[in-house]
């Protein structure tokens, strides 16, 4: 029997992961490095944590990079550093973000300040990073952007109404950017349910497990589940763009 030829997959050579110092971003950085990719591990406040992630990655050529996605000067400085260190990007993973939990029914508690901060971080921030990194991605090979969104955008249930709206906006941005950045850059949203990280202050593993029990796959989504979906977008989904990939134990069903 003749062997069936399998084409080589376009393994990313360089990547920026915002929010790489922790949780989902950390897991994505580890998966990318295991493929042989050089990773810029983005952080906001925890340089030490980012350095530790960087030191734990397979291979070499990685570095920790401060990129506060809500600070234009920091984003511009990071783009300049990446131009010097890598010269191009094959992948950008927008995982950096934060939330301020506010009970959904308490509209008065969701102040303008919290709303603006939440949208600034989780919607304007990823856009600002895409805008700054576009030339580097256009210089890359089979480049992909993955925005870490949230299934909250679809279910309408999340840590605050502003967070739900920001992630809904991010999914819309994914679709719109996919149109304008084609054919050079593919754009995806990966949309997790509750993941066991420190993202939501005071949320416990037990709470996540109790919630997960009610959904089809009945297990808590781990950071590495999300990382593998991110890698699938970058490496395997070469003929897709502008899609939202739920990683949510079937919660959206």
Ligand X SMILES: NC(=O)c1ccc[n+]([C@@H]2O[C@H](COP(=O)([O-])OP(=O)(O)OC[C@H]3O[C@@H](n4cnc5c(N)ncnc54)[C@H](OP(=O)(O)O)[C@@H]3O)[C@@H](O)[C@H]2O)c1
> Which active-site residues does the annotation give?
163
Does position 121 bind ligand X by CB under 6 A? yes
Nearer to ligand X, 139 or 252 (CB): 252
Q: Single out the segment in contact with ligand X by CB under 6 A; choices: 6-14, 43-51, 133-141, 211-219.
A: 43-51
145's tokens:
């952007």
Q: Single out the segment in contact with ligand X by CB under 6 A; choices: 102-110, 187-195, 212-220, 236-244.
A: 187-195
Nearer to ligand X, 100 or 122 (CB): 122
Out of 69, 173, 230, 245, the residue judged to bind ligand X by CB under 6 A: 69
Identify the helix (H) or strand (E) that includes residue 136: helix 125-138
CA 246 to chain centre: 13
Contact 57, 33 (CB under 8 A): yes
CA distances to 38, 133, 169, 194 from 92, rounded to whole Å, are: 12, 8, 18, 23
Cα–Cα distance, 61 to 54 (Å, whole number): 10
The dihedrals phi and psi of 104, each to the nearest 5 degrees, come to -60, -35
Q: Single out the segment in contact with ligand X by CB under 6 A; choices: 79-87, 93-101, 138-146, 237-245.
A: 93-101
Site residues for ligand X per CB under 6 A: 18-19, 21-25, 43-46, 49, 67-70, 95-98, 121-122, 148, 150, 192, 194-195, 197-199
């Amino acid at each position: 029997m003749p062997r069936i030829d399998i084409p080589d997959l376009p393994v990313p050579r360089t990547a920026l992961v915002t929010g790489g110092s922790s949780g989902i971003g950390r897991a994505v950085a580890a998966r990318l490095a295991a493929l042989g990719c050089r990773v810029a591990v983005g952080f906001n406040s925890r340089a030490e944590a980012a350095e530790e992630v960087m030191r734990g990655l397979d291979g070499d050529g990685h570095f920790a990079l401060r990129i506060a996605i809500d600070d234009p000067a920091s984003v511009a400085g990071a783009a300049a550093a990446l131009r010097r260190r890598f010269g191009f990007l094959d992948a950008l993973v927008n995982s950096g973000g934060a939330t301020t939990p506010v009970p959904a029914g308490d509209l008065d508690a969701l102040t303008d300040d919290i709303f603006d901060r939440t949208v600034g971080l989780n919607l304007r921030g990823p856009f600002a990073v895409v805008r700054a990194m576009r030339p580097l991605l256009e210089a890359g090979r089979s480049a992909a952007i993955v925005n870490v969104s949230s299934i909250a955008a679809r279910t309408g249930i999340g840590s605050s109404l502003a967070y739900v709206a920001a992630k809904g906006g991010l999914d819309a941005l994914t679709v719109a950017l996919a149109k304008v950045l084609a054919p050079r850059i593919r754009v995806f949203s990966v949309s997790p349910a509750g993941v066991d990280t420190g993202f939501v202050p005071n949320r416990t593993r037990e709470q996540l497990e109790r919630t997960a029990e009610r959904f089809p796959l009945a297990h808590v989504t781990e950071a590495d589940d999300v990382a593998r979906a991110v890698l699938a977008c970058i490496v395997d989904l070469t003929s897709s763009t502008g899609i939202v990939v739920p990683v949510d134990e079937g919660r959206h069903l």
